[in-house]
Amino acid sequence: MIRKMLPFRRTAGAPALAAVALAAALATAPGASADAHNPPPPPGSSPVCVFYDGDGPTFFGERGERVSQVQCMLANRHYLPWSALDGTFGPQTLLAVQRFQADHPPLAPNGLVTPATWSVLRHAGPSRTSPLPYPPT
C-alpha cells in the first residue's frame, strides 16, 4: 500500500502554542506548587530538573550537575528547601538524602546516591508537605 505524504505546513502560531504548552506543563509539574516552608524556585529557574539524567554514584563533597540534579529532585519532594540548591553536596544535602532514603525502604539511609536511589528519586512523588528542618531538631 502506498500512501501519499502530505507536505509539512508550518503555521505562524506554532511557536506560541508550544510556549503555552510548556508553561502549562511547568505549572503542573511536581514541586510547582509552593508552600510557606518551601517557596517556589527563584525567578528564571524551574521546578523541572534537567541537570543530569544518569545514575552515577553521587556522594558527600561532590560538586556539579549530578549534585544539582539530586538537590532539585529533593526540593521537589520537600526534603530540601529551594534555597539549598547550590550544586555542592554538603551537610544539608547529605541529611536530605539520608532522610529520603530512610522514608523509602529498602534504600539504606547512608547518604550515597546509588543507581537504586536515583531510580526512587525519579519515580517518587512529593513525599512531605514541607521540608525537614536543617539542622535537625
pLDDT, tens only, 34-61: 455 555 554 544 466 778 888 999 999 9
User: Quick check: 11 pLDDT over 80?
Assistant: no
Q: How many CB atoms lie within 10 A of CB 21?
A: 10
Please give the mean pLDDT across all residues of the chain.
75
- The pLDDT tens digits for 80-101 are 998 999 999 999 999 999 999 9
Over range 14-30, report the average pLDDT: 49
Q: CB pairs under 8 A, 24+ apart, for 61-64?
A: 61/89, 62/88, 62/89, 63/87, 63/88, 63/89
